[in-house]
Structure 1
């Protein structure tokens, strides 16, 4: 994993030093080397910061084709690159390194945009075509690796992080409309919270000559229609196919020229990955431990580690270590958090990097792939239990009676039902935050229509039409909350120079799982029965059965020291000039929370985290409203 930045100027007036501020902002993503290149026509400048994982002694970037036509910067990993490299060599392509990134350069030379379906992994890359005078930039199918862009001063700029764009001169402003949409649900897959800053959506690629910008899609989730799901599926054969796909997704991600570590919690997802990795030797595992026994999964993680013969380490996260890190989560993650998970994630990543690792496998994507979330199970019931449709209609009528709930009705009308994660977000953030908003901004939030343009896209309509509520809800979740919030933990990991690989977010695995009959995603008391059944001969007894065990960190608001720090920020006037909130109402909320016993404060966690995230981003980037 690395950092990249590109500037395209149709006027041919670029100077090499223009990349330097952005590259400094991306140094944490690539502490092992920095490279830059500017074309002879001065129309494009490309920069790269490198985390050396494959071919540490070679593979410096930018990379250049032998004929001087194509030039590449890449972030991420391309799996199965050995097979592709062999194919390219048979076609006469010569390689200058063993780096996986170089295959993208040669594939594009041979196949153009037809190269994209051949690439597997988590990646973002850009290629300048000197002959055509155009830049293309592509992002992986699930949006694991970020790729932001903006127009500024007659130029097009791209970078791995928003902060790098700001350092390159892009104005630092909130997008009030996007923030309003975020408080209702989430901004769309091509948007951000910052005015003028966009992102290449997952599974898409960008074309630009410095004047025009075009976005094109090369992949989508393509869930089967309800009619297609009625076809008979051989259960034993399907489970074997799921098992083979999971094993392959893990195995390809174990390949690196540096040691590989593993996240391990008390749950099934990370435990299954570690169990499969143990087929190749004793895995090196790292588990977070909390000093609050209600949240600590350390004993369960240790039991899994013992069962598979892992070499296990623990990372203690207590109230003292958390109290001073809320600002770091916002600054390094460049996002608005909604819980204390980010603090635990950052401390874990720091510990793994300090132990000498640059690569770690993690279990994110398991809940998305195998219907592990409670709200996903609600959508599943709507798809399989006719009576639950009546309950969904009841929820919609109640929302219609509340002004704060009306923005959700537009989503429900377009989706044909109200997805469970949308309702959960409304109850946790959208409704309770209304009373804290400044009147003008509150009106903007009530008028917000999240993802309106996305729903108007004929392609998106074709992806939703004829699908079950479960698949429609999964599609919306993947395009909004997964890519724009959950996977933003990538920025926290990369702030430590740590590459996190996610086997469950693999498009070949998805292609197998998407054909699963809906009834196989639920049943009995076990969570993710499809995954458990597929891996029944691979999992140790401790993972064979169990209910859903979500990874939860102790709420920050439960700690008095953390609340005091938050109150200091508010009393210092941080909210006064933003125009988003009513400072007195925020102070009253904080006093009300502090008056509660620590065990009863969790219901306020998400709103307080959102408040501090907005304050923190404003301060970190010197944003104006």
Structure 2
């Protein structure tokens, strides 16, 4: 993975020679921009500027494949007419793409063994946006074609790798992180509307006014006249709910297993050591189990290490927090596999010390300290000589691992499997649906400390076939009471659910209303909102790349996902009310043992596909989400840190947050009788303050 910073003159119709001073000024800005994101690529730094300084491409390199200087960027085509900076990994099974592109009629001459050079070759062969459909992996890129004058921006299918853009003084600025824009003269301002309505979690806006994301699976073309057009080259698709499944369950289980193994095998290719993030859950444990099988039984290299080198896993430990700490289970898994495990002990002091840095790197607020934990964990592989880790992100999205998918699973029968218990008994399904909705309401609002939006906006729900996930997703969005009177008044008539529904494409909403089962619609909504714009940032790219760690998530392999998305809902979230299922260990720390979620086995088909590679304990264990402790003592390190950050002066300098709410939260968020919601208020506001101060964000004002 790497860092990208790009500056493009929007109007390039009349090219004029530039002075040495103009060129030197642009180069200096790009260099300083790279310095601000040097953590993304500390191994090499490259800058290319065209003759009239209308185009400047800059790149920080984290060398993973082909460690020689030939892998440095920007990349240039053999004709020296196509230039690109690329962040990420492109996987080429059996070097099939490289072989095809170097043969007639393409005859592309490769100059390195880097995977990213495939981008230039594919563009030369298929043009834009056609070349993007051939890319398999996690990436973001900027490509400049001298012959056409066009610039192409693009991002991987799930949004694993970031790419932002803004316009400043007649130039389009593009970067892997918004902080890179600071060196280019950009002055940040809050996008208060995006914050209040929560649309930064769904669409292309961010917390910063005028700063946009390239959408997951999206591309943007910038013409010589500065015109920008774009679209999607890929989107999630699901089986038609009206079609009966004809495959056997055994065939589906084998199909998942084969594709998951292939996705992992592809991600073991590197010229540096590769490790594994291991928690107490099935996802990372399954990765570790399959990797162990591939290395020991098939002789596959894990990065540049062969089977004689010990497989290494990394896990987080919350000392003294038995409910939240999964490190003991992770250690039992490692011992069962015979692999090494290194733990990162993250206590309250570590949480407090790293809170502001984590917020700065994430560039958005979070309502849980799990992001700080991941930020701390990512120091461990770096300190032990690893640059690459495998991670389990994406499994819950594809295999229905979250309990809040259950109400949507129950909204309609699974017609793909008409003989299933819930399809044959509509009364039972409707009864369970009512209970599930009631249980989840209570779980999120009263026990989890989530933000309660009352989740009842009929307009928004009609737009997405009454899928309830639209409501559950608001639990991560601060409620209107936190904001200043002017902000509350301005957005009083708006609804975050409606605003977020409006950000979705008409094509997707039509499929949600007519084609997809509500469970699949729910999975789509989550994947295109919180997964892409929150989890893959604060629990993915930003907290890992802050320490120069490249993470590879095999569950987000699009070939695997396309197969899984074509499976019936009932094999993902299975109704299993047997007594042994009700007694499964795990679940959310605040769950009631009689909760309706106990009657379902989440990720059922993944458990079956992974059974040979995991322990019996994990096969039988209920999903336990990665969350951090949210109760801390009064006047302890966390309380002191948030008091230090959330001062009246600092909060009022934001311009859109009600100080009285924060003051009350500081009084109520700690101690034995702590209010969980008050604690989450402080985490969110503390994140805004940390970002605002480090970025120098202007105070938000009425009318802005």
* Structure-1-length-normalised TM-score: 0.93
1:505-527 Cα offsets, whole Å, 9 max, x none, are: 11101111112111112233343
Summarize the alignment of residues 97-246 of structure 1 with structure 2, pairs less than 5 Å apart. Answer: 97-112=112-127, 113-182=129-198, 186-209=200-223, 211-228=226-243, 230-246=244-260
Deviation at 1:200, TM superposition (A): 0.7
User: Residue 328 of structure 1: SS of its match in structure 2?
Assistant: helix
Within 5 Å, which residues of 2 pair with 1:422-433? Answer: 422-427=470-475, 429-430=477-478, 433=479
Any conservation in 1 of the 2:407–2:436 contact (CA below 8 Å)? Answer: no
CA distance 1:261–1:395, change in 2 (3 Å): closer
> Which residue, 673, 677, 684 being the options, matches 1:610?
684
Which residue of the partner structure matches residue 354 of structure 2?
325
In structure 1, how many angstroms separate the alpha carbons of the residues matched to 2:112 and 2:410? 51
Q: What is the match of residue 389 of structure 2? A: 360
Give the 3 Å change call, closer, same or farther, for CA 95–178 of structure 1 in structure 2.
same
CA contact (8 A) 2:216 2:532 kept: yes
Residue matched to 1:479: 528
The 1:530/1:186 distance shift into structure 2, 3 A limit, reads: farther
Give unmatched runs, 5+ long, in structure 1.
none
For the pair 1:443 / 2:494, whether they are aligned, the reply is: no
- The separation in 2 between residues aligned to 1:135 and 1:350, in whole angstroms, is 36
User: Which residue is 1:77 aligned to?
Assistant: 89
Residue 623 of structure 2: aligned partner: 548
**CA–CA separation in structure 1 for the residues paired with 2:501 and 2:257:** 38
TM-superposed deviation, 1:467: 1.4
5 Å-filtered alignment, 1:275-294, equals: 275-279=289-293, 280-281=295-296, 282-291=310-319, 292-294=321-323
Per the alignment, residue 282 of structure 2 pairs with 268
Partners of 1:189 and 1:87 lie apart in 2 by 37
- Indicate conservation of the 8 Å contact 2:157/2:234, yes or no: yes
Matches within 5 A, 1:337-348: 337-348=366-377
- 1:370–1:531 CA contact under 8 A, matched in 2: yes
Q: Return the offset for 1:445.
A: 4.2
**Number of residue equivalences:** 615
Is 2:61 aligned against 1:50?
A: yes
Query: Counterpart of 1:5 in 2: which secondary structure?
Result: strand
Among 635, 638, 651, the residue aligned to 1:562: 638
Is contact 2:241-2:515 (8 Å) kept? yes
The C-alpha deviation readout for 1:353-391, integer Å capped at 9, x for no partner, is 011100000111111111111112232122343346667
Inter-partner Cα distance in structure 2 for 1:392 and 1:414: 22
Q: Describe the shift of the 1:237–1:458 C-alpha distance in structure 2 as closer, same or farther (beyond 3 A).
A: closer
SS at 1:508 equivalent: helix
Which deviations, in whole Å up to 9, do the C-alpha atoms of 1:84-115 show, x marking residues without a partner? 11111113111110000001101100111222
SS of residue in 2 equivalent to 1:360:
strand
Larger mean CA deviation between 565-574 and 317-326 belongs to 565-574
Deviation track 1:135-161 (CA, whole Å, cap 9, x = no partner) reads: 001100000000111112111111100
Residue aligning to 1:528: 603
Instruction: Give the drift of 1:405.
Output: 3.9
In the alignment, is the contact (CA less than 8 A) between 1:358 and 1:498 conserved in 2?
yes
SS in 1 for 2:613: coil
User: Residues 164 and 409 (structure 1 numbering): CA distance in 2 closer, same or farther, change over 3 Å?
Assistant: farther
Q: Determine the structure 1 residue equivalent to 2:302.
A: none
Check conservation: 1:337, 1:613, Cα contact below 8 A. yes
**Superposed displacement of residue 550, structure 1:** 1.6
Q: 1:427 to 1:535 in 2, by over 3 A?
A: closer
Residue aligned with 1:77, SS: strand
Distance 1:458 1:298, change over 3 A: closer
Counterpart-to-counterpart distance in 2, 1:456 and 1:240:
34
Deviation of residue 407 (structure 1)? 8.0
Segment drifting more, 568-577 vs 276-285: 568-577
Contact 2:367 / 2:476 at 8 angstroms: preserved in 1?
A: no
Query: Is 1:18 aligned to 2:64, yes or no?
Result: no
Please say which of residues 504-513 and 8-17 is displaced more in the overlay.
8-17
* Cα distance in 1 between the residues matched to 2:166 and 2:256: 40
- Equivalence map 1:446-461=2 (5 Å): 446=492, 447-448=494-495, 449-455=498-504, 457-458=506-507, 460-461=509-510
1:89 matched residue in structure 2 = 102
CA distance in 2, matches of 1:456, 1:89: 38
Quick check: 1:252 aligned with 2:280?
A: no
Cα distance in 2 for partners of 1:568, 1:34 equals 37
User: How far is the alpha carbon of 1:208 from its aligned partner?
Assistant: 0.3
Pair 19,411 (structure 1): closer, same or farther in 2 beyond 3 Å? same
Residue 306 of structure 1, CA deviation:
0.8
Judge which range, 577-586 or 361-370, deviates more. 577-586
Contact 2:407 2:433 in 1 (8 A): no
Aligned-partner Cα distance in 1 for 2:288–2:624? 17
Cα 1:304/1:238, change in 2 over 3 Å: same
Q: Is the 8 A contact 2:200 2:207 kept in 1?
A: no
Structure 2: distance between partners of 1:442 and 1:320: 35
